[in-house]
Amino acid sequence: MRTAKLLYLGVAAVGIAALIVACAAQMGGEQSTGAAVRIDDDDIGGVVTSAKGPEAGVWVIAETTDLPTRFSRSVVTDDQGRYVVPDLPKANYDIWVRGYGLVDSPKVKAAPGKILDLKAVVAPNEAAAAQYYPSIYWYSMMKIPDKSEFGGKGKIPEKLTQNEYLNLMKSNGCANCHAIGNRSMRTFPTNVPFPFGKFANSEELWFRRIQSGQGGVPMFATVVKEMGGAPFRYLADWTERIAKGELPHAKPPRPKGVERNIVVTTWDWLDEKHYLHDLIASDRRFPTVNAYGPVYGSTELSVDVIPILDPKTNKVTDFKTPVRDADTPMSMEEGPMQPSPYWGKEHVWTSKANNHNGMFDRKGRVWFAAAVRGPNNPAFCKKGSDHPSAKAFPVERTNRHLSMLDPKTMKYTFIDTCFGTHHLQFDANDVLWTSGGGQVVGWFDMKKFDETGDAAKAQGWTPMILDTNGNGKRDPYVEPNQPVDPTKDKRISAGFYAVMPSPADGSVWGSVRTFPGAVVRIAPGSNPSETALAEIYNVPPPGFGIRGADIDKQGVVWASLASGHLASFDRRKCKGPLNGPKATGDHCPEGWSFYKYPGPGFQGIGDNSAESSYYSWVDQHNTFGLGDDVPMSTANLYNGLVALKDGKMILLRVPYPLGFYAKGFDGRIDDPKAGWKGRGLWSSSGDRAPWLMENGKGSKPLAVHFQLRPDPLAK
């Protein structure tokens, strides 16, 4: 426990005041005129005031480079402007104030154990204040084509509806890699090594911009091929209006209530050229696994490294991710379409392993969705094999498999799978279910593998078969492109993006990104390769554009939607038959509920939020402190996370550096007896270009820890 304590009292009594001055002098701090602020020898605390008086609901940020990696911790002031930055590692810190209606205060040097009052700086004008707004406030300024321009009546491809256009501009297109609206996105880069050059107009400049660097191919395909180039004039209009001084049409509110109790800690990890897709901290089912231990990152397309952060020592190490076969191709063989303003023609994304997502098991080992070889499957996966799953549905090719890292030995095990992998989740029986299989859903029996070491025997997969004849068992079926035959079942093509075993009944659910999107339920049965049956439930209006999803302990699915909603689907609410010839997707709209994300919406298209959430996750075990089964989402354009508690959206914003963008997150309980200090959420910045964050080129990806105190001054 801590030894030194300070009692900081703003009272008139001469004796107490003298004592405070003496204590402050002893600790090298400044005397405060505020109410009580208690700190220990590893805290920094005080009062924030401006010319307007105490500043409530603003952030105090402490940052240091004295530790093995850059470290920052942010807290929010209470209603009297008081703050405590708790539990800081021993180092020298820069401390400053950031908040809505302010500009950053000058940085002040300080060390833990110091009382430090801070002077906030009121923004001189609205333009200066707006530079600290979350991305969504700037992004919502973009104009969305009116409905009259769709249906082949304008320059927009006839096949697109307004909602499909929004889906591609948001979570399932442009905003699925970047927090559009950041300063680096709403302006064009200047003072860069490889400038774009001169163009006749802004539309031509945007046409060139989206071809830049490593992600140029998918960006170009989305905007030009899928959207017919329609967004160019709206992107150009957006940046031109901003350049002329137009400001967001709404202002963000300062944190209130429980939002003032949030502590955000960040660490730099990996390097300045590559990005992280995700991280993992514990076993989803048993969140005390790996307590206080390292967190492990997944770098997807960018580089064959697993960055490992030890939060106890603030040290980052890198584990080089191997592949089994030397001829395994790079995931991004083609390289840049056009030079990057930052890296030129350099081929930065060189990964072969393409490590997308990790998951702890109960033994403390880390499993990854990672490639181990080229795309051609071994013989046991294909037609003619005696493997039970291959007999039911042979698979010829797949691009990503499984691997496992044992932190005790640092042994990395290759696991060849016939099915593709993307996201991973263990069920109650230690079977690892995967998304990313396309036409099939695959699983891997960890216990069987540990006993036999035989990856082929430990794995299985199944096509997705609807029970359209309604007899409760799997029968011969028609194909996805064939009409329903009431005497047969029907196979559907519904590749899982998210995957989530249900704690309620052992079923396995997935989100399907076909427009408007759907969730699919798999009931495995006694022999899943031959007995598994599927159910599909399409997203009804006003929702559309499903992406990440998760499930609570009651079996309710929660999903991020491009329509600007967190949606839930509760199968128990369905009124009609769940199988049979009419149970093909649109048979249970009553099972869906929609909760609008916070933040402003695009103007002229009705009530909406411009939020483009990438992924949703349910805190089944109260790892954060809001309670069991609280659904949460990445708030990608709000530069943070968001939780739905008792019908209210609670924002968990990362105030520094500006531009945080998460693609997933995890919860861990380090010590269930330690109160708020033993719990927290873990996430990683997942923007595909970390140099687009606030500090520009040289910025590294972040590991981020969110904690929830009982009040803003808790130590």
Mapped to the 3 state alphabet, what secondary structure does 25-86 carry? HHHCCCCCCCCCEEEECCCEEEEEEECCEECCCCEEEEEECCCCCCEEEEEECCCCCEEEEC
pLDDT band at 152 (very low <50, low <70, confident <90, very high): confident
In a domain, 84, yes or no: yes
Per-state percent for the chain, helix, strand, coil, to nearest 5: 15, 30, 55
710 found inside a domain:
no
Does the pLDDT at position 418 exceed 50? Answer: yes
630-635 and 640-645: which strand pairing?
antiparallel
Report the DSSP pairing between strands 702-708 and 679-685.
antiparallel
In a domain, 485, yes or no: no
Residue 29 has pLDDT above 90, yes or no: no
436-454 pLDDT, tens digit each: 999 999 999 999 999 999 9
- Domain range for 112: 5-130
The SS3 assignment for 108 reads: strand
Work out the mean pLDDT of the chain and round it to a whole number: 94
Q: Is the CB of residue 517 less than 8 Å from the CB of residue 561?
A: yes
Mean local confidence (pLDDT), 414-427? 98
> In this structure, are residues 577 and 468 in contact, taking their beta carbons and an 8 Å threshold?
no
Q: Residue 641: beta bridge partners?
A: 634, 652
Is pLDDT above 60 for 4? no
The bridge status of strand 648-653 relative to strand 440-445 is unpaired
**Residue at 573 is within a domain:** no
Residues 6+ apart with CB under 8 A from 622: 628, 630, 679
- Say whether pLDDT at 11 is over 50: no
* Domain-embedded: residue 390: no
* pLDDT of 276 above 60: yes
Domain membership of residue 92 (yes or no) is: yes
Mean pLDDT of 405-409: 98
Helix/strand/coil for 589:
helix
Give me the number of domains the chain comprises: 1
Phi, psi of 237 (to 5 degrees): -60, -40
Task: Check pLDDT > 90 for residue 611.
Answer: yes
> Mean pLDDT across the stretch 679-705?
95
pLDDT at 20 > cutoff 50: no
Tell me, rounded to whole angstroms, the distance of Cα 317 from its chain centroid: 23
First to last CA, the chain: 12
- CB atoms < 10 A from the CB of 24, how many? 20
Residue 197 has what pLDDT?
92
Spatial distance between the Cα atoms of 682 and 701, rounded to a whole number of angstroms: 14
pLDDT at 572 over 50: yes
108-147 per-position pLDDT tens digit: 999 999 999 999 999 999 999 999 999 999 999 999 999 9
Q: Is 647 domain-assigned?
A: no
Q: Taking 70 as the threshold, does the pLDDT of residue 9 lie above it?
A: no
Looking at residue 35, its pLDDT comes to 60
Q: How far apart are CA 202 and CA 238, in angstroms?
A: 10
The SS3 of residue 180 is coil
- Residue 253 lies inside a defined structural domain of this protein: no
What are the tens digits of pLDDT across the range 323-376? 999 999 999 988 899 999 999 999 999 999 999 999 999 999 999 999 999 999
CATH number for position 99: 2.60.40.1120
Sequence-distant (≥ 6) Cβ neighbours of residue 639 within 8 angstroms: 134, 135, 179, 653, 654, 658, 659, 660, 661
Closest by Cα among 195, 225, 193 to 208: 195
State CA 340 to chain mean position distance: 25
Instruction: Report how far residue 381's alpha carbon sits from residue 395's, in angstroms, rounded to the nearest whole number.
Output: 6
